[in-house]
Each structure stands twice: as C-alpha cells, then as structure tokens.
Structure 1
C-alpha cells in the first residue's frame, strides 16, 4: 500500500494460524511438505511424520483439510495477518493487533475433487485468475478489521499472543472495521516494509519472515527490487546507507555520506540538526521483560494446544457435511502413509482434538488402505 510516509506491505495468509510457533522449525516444516529428496515425489510419510512429531500444528491442519484449505481464488478468500502486530504512537505507547480482511467478492472454495481437476488442467489457475482480474480492472476488495489488545491484557491473557498456532477469539477481542483494501497492482511484498505507526511484535515467526522475505525478493529480482516502479514508494524515502548494486535506477545518492550522524547531509533531506541518525524509543520496560520471557518457545505441547482446534471442529459441525468432507480429505492423504504405526500416530493426534474425529478418521482411512 502506497502511503504518505512510504510503503506498507501486508503479507497475510488465508488461514489465521500456522503449522509452527518456533521459527527454528521453518526449514523442516517446508521440507516435510515438499517432495521426497530421493524420488522427488509427494510423500505423505514425510508430511505426517513431521506433524505427529510436532503436534502444535493440529489447529492449522484442521483448517488446511477443511473447505477453507482449497479457496477458489485469491479474490474469494478471507485473509489474516496471523501474526501479532502493533499500532504505535510517537510517544512509544502501543496496542497489539491482529488484522482480518474479509473479501467483498464472497468466500468461495473448491471441493477436493474440483481442486484436483483444476490443478491438473491448469496448474497456474490461481495466478492467472488474479492477474487477469487486475488486467480487466476488476480490482478485488476486502473490508479490513482489527482486533485490539493492550499490553496489560496481553500479559494476563490465557494464551500466548505471540503463538501463531493460536487465535484471539472474537468474543474476547471483537473485530473493529478500519477501512477497505483494493488490490490493483501485482508486486513483490515483504512484511518488513512498514511505515510509522505500524510495527512488528516479538512474534518469533514474524521476526523470521522480516528477514526471509526481503532475501527472497533480492534473490529473485535483485538487490534494488524496491526501486521497481511497482514496488517503489511514491514519496521521497531517504536512506543513503542502502546504495549501489545492480539495476540502480537513480543517481545512487551521489556524494551523500553513507554513515550515521553526518553533518554533510544535503539540507533538502535533513530530518534533524545533525542529519540522519539512528534513533529508537526506549524499550526497557517491565512489559518488554515479559515479552522476552514468553517469546522463547519450546516444543512442549499440552492439552491447551488442543482447546482451540476442538472449538474449530465444533464450528465445522454447524456447516452441513463439512466435518465429513474434512475426514474424507484427510483420509485420502493419510491413506498414502505406508507405516501403520505412523497412521496410528495420526489418528491419536486428531483423537486429542475430538475422540469421535479420531475414530472416524481411522475407519475412513483404513478402508482406503485396504482397497
């Protein structure tokens, strides 16, 4: 989004939670979901072996194998920050937020059969659908809502607000509409592209993405990808410390100093008496001490990690046939697991969400295995 103070990128998911809460597991979750390194074939054994061993992702798995896991188009899905961000003020005060974007085009999903057919007939369908809609000037729109939590509420809340496997129930923190977003350009996005008033929290997965996404963009597009017309800020952004490199589109700041605190900075860009300085608000507060203590994760999983997935399973039960479709979607995938011991581990994992779910999943899957 182009603002008066630079660009603000929102890189969100179509699910409000994620598979992990510890960023050290990021490479592993990605590898387990990709192809077998020897055969280069999809491997359900790898997928389910990871998730049985890392059960904190059960909430995301339920979303993934529900109807919500196969959206008909990016235009027809709701989107979520997932991460906890901050709305900040100049005096250093802030509130924590989560962002929800609800599509104005209506939510539409594929069935498993439709998704399989489209993936075979047109693997680029999702990209084409969005690109063509923007080319036709049928710009998709979303209503933007936030959930707001004060630092004191965060310290006392039941769940760790930096845990990306959890949501903030809307009964506790209702949605508040703040605006509308229209997507009218294709661009390279990074969650580290922010403006004053919007900031990252200590969410460990978010902190990892702040580094990873710019690295990916630099790898694909070059070190000066933020100067591309689509990505460039529409207001002057002065940062002579970042310069040089291939595909530089401007005068590369000429002779401007590239170090902090210079008195030689051109007056047209001067922001303080002594030029560009490195400045930050003091963060040494009791709250930040609490943040440091709760944002270091272990792999320990407790019954609390199954409370929200159990609630989601009940919600899916209110939609006709949805629970049955989830079971069939799961069974079709789990039936490819060759180890009966590993399959038993999967049934036990879902049984911790709901005993009946685990039993029905076992019955549906084993029927497919025998056939």
Structure 2
C-alpha cells in the first residue's frame, strides 16, 4: 500500500500546556486523502496537499496560537485502501478531519467511518450527490460540486440548445452511475431522451468497443459520465473514431482545467462543462493560481484544489471559535452555523444536509486562436446561482433534513 504519513508542521511548536488543552493531542491534524499518482492526480493529488497547507498558512494559524499539521495519503482510488487509511488516521494517528477524497466509492465508505468515529470529513473531490442524499450524515460536508450540479449545468444547457438524444459512456462505479442517472433525469425532464449507456472499467486504456457502441447508437450527444484520465482518453479516442466528424457531439459531464490542458485546445475546443471555480475569474483567483503554479511545476489549480483550500479555511474558523476539535459532529454543526467566506469562493452557506452552497459556472472551451496566455482555456458563458445550482433541499432524501 502506498501510504505517506509525512507530517508537515505549519505552525511553530508552541509551549505545551493550557494553550492546546482543548485540542485533541494538542494539535489540529488535517489529513488530505486523494489519488497522488493515478488518473485523478492532476485533479487534486499533490496540488491538493499544497492547497491545504496554503489554507493553514493564509489563515494565520501560527499567529493565532494554533498548532496545525497536514498529512497526506494515496487511496489509489480503492475503497478498501481508503477505509484502512481513514481508520488508521482517526484511531491511531490523531487526525481530526479528512479532506478531499476524489472517487465517490471511497468517499461513500469514509463518510460512514467519520460518523462511526465522530470525526470530520470534508469532501472536495468526490462527486456523487448521494453524499448529501441517502448517504448523508452529521459528520460530513460536501464542498465543491456534485453530480446533480453537473447534470443541471451542462446537461440542461445542451438539451436546451438542441441536443435531445443522449447515449452515455459511464465509469462503472458509484460516481459514474450517479452522474449518468442525474444527467439522464435532467435530459428527460427537459424533453430529451436517453437511448442507452455502456459502462467501462475505471482507469481503462482502451475505449474502442465502448465508443463503437456509442457511435452505433446514433444519439446526438455522447455523454461522458467519467472523469480525469478516463475523460481525456475517451475524448482522444473518440477523435480517432471520427465520432464528432460523423455528426455526434461529446458532452464532458465532469471536466477540469487540467483535462483541457492535456487534450489541447485543438481537440477540446467547443466543449461545454460546469465548474465551481476558474483561476482567471478575478484577481484573488489569479494570485492563488500564480502561487500554485510556482509550487506545482507550472500547473494551474482545479476547482477541487480550490475547494480544499476553501473547506480548510472554514474548518479552522469553526475549531478556533469552539476552541475544540474532538467532537466531529459538533464541529460540523458549528461550520453549518457560520456563513462561509474566503478569497476563492467568496461568501456562501452550508445547508443542513451538508451541501456547501455557492454559485456554479457554465463554461466553454476556447478555440486555439482565442487563447491569449498560458492556461487561458475557457470562457464563462453563464453564472448559475447557488439556489439553482444544487439539488433542492427536500429532494435528496437526507435523514438530517426536517420533513415539512
């Protein structure tokens, strides 16, 4: 198992005693768990660890007398690996909060462990809307995006502009299934039809048989209910099969700026996708991206990495206000009671089901000639207000939501 528990101390070691008596172990310990080297490594990975450390630094933890440590581990996109790490962290290593966790199947396992251990889990990377629906609990907050928001941003826009018949190419695990379902519901609600779907293994290299089935469907839209390296490879191979040249269009239901970079504008131009954050929208985002790029080999941050930063800032606000971090459910309740505000996501709130509420954005990939600088890849076509961007509170079947 790849398991790196290197602790990065972000505050000077302060004198022991009453100053830290309220914090378990005398330290606020944050564990960043994600894919450090596989198909989601660029989405969060080492850059996600950097974002968590940067949040601690920008919060001024040391100056406020808080001792904070950030540790990280690679869950390899496997629920059993992620679960073992979570139990080790919570039970033995004194981790108070786990953040990020792309790969919904891993996140769905860890949210139950957080509940069992009464710790905190802040998900920036996972997508399944079940996390604030039937799988919700009082120890979890879903921060950045989810499959419902992606479906209602990208899917709705494409149907409304004429893409009525859909066929899905779906990653065969919890995230892909949720994204296919949520997008299919939106397509049908807006007058479209779903002609079928084919499911592929996570992190496959050969999409030929799946793309041939999508091509044979004759659907106007091939919806890609996958992410990261799988999205990149399916789009590249779709070009080799002439799917777009044959009159069908691709819809990347979950895409990141790093995917566009990997594809290149010539291949990705014209794709629409929904995002919670984009680096070139304002001065604060650009400043963050500049620091991120300098520390991460020139790469620019994704919405997941920005979401990690934002969630850690708000977590630190809550535990500082409480002067305690041991009772995870109490910390999450405190986080829900305080409006969110940070330099990347601006102002927001957290609903009782654990959904962080903020605006989302429908963007379109630029043509090569429209890009004026490195990583200048998309145009924001529409701002989707928070109240419209996420599933209505009463529709998720979350046990935390009071029945009217």
Normalising by the smaller structure, the TM-score range is under 0.3
TM (norm. structure 2) is: 0.24
Q: Name which one, 1 or 2, has greater alpha-carbon Rg.
A: 1
TM (norm. structure 1) is: 0.26
Task: Pick the structure with more strand per residue.
Answer: 2
